[in-house]
Amino acid sequence: MLGASFDTPEENKEFAENESFPFRLLADPDRQVGKAYGVARPDDDPAAGYANRFSFLIDREGVIRRVYEVTDTAGHADAVLEDLEELRAA
């Protein structure tokens, strides 16, 4: 599991420490990864500093198997785990 944000490495470190976040965080302050994955907002958007919230389930070969628009943060992990089990069984 890897998280990514447009924050700096220092901001990500502070967030991880404050929230006891157990996963690695990718710092993408120039928004290049966000643009490549289609989650960056347009430069003229007032919220351009924040990515649209999406998750990607990527297999060992680097193939994106599922894309999730995260609207239900409470149930999101369960949905991803369910899909992961389904993919493992296939």
Whichever domain contains 67, its CATH number is 3.40.30.10
1: pLDDT strictly greater than 90: no
Per residue in 33-55, pLDDT (tens digit) is 999 999 999 999 999 999 999 99
Alpha-carbon distance of 55 to 49, in angstroms, equals: 18
Q: Beta-carbon neighbour count of residue 49 at 10 Å?
A: 13
Write out the residue range of the structural domain in which residue 8 sits: 2-89
Alpha-carbon distance of 59 to 71, in angstroms, equals: 23
Q: Which phi and psi (to 5°) does residue 62 adopt?
A: 85, 15
66: pLDDT strictly greater than 90: yes
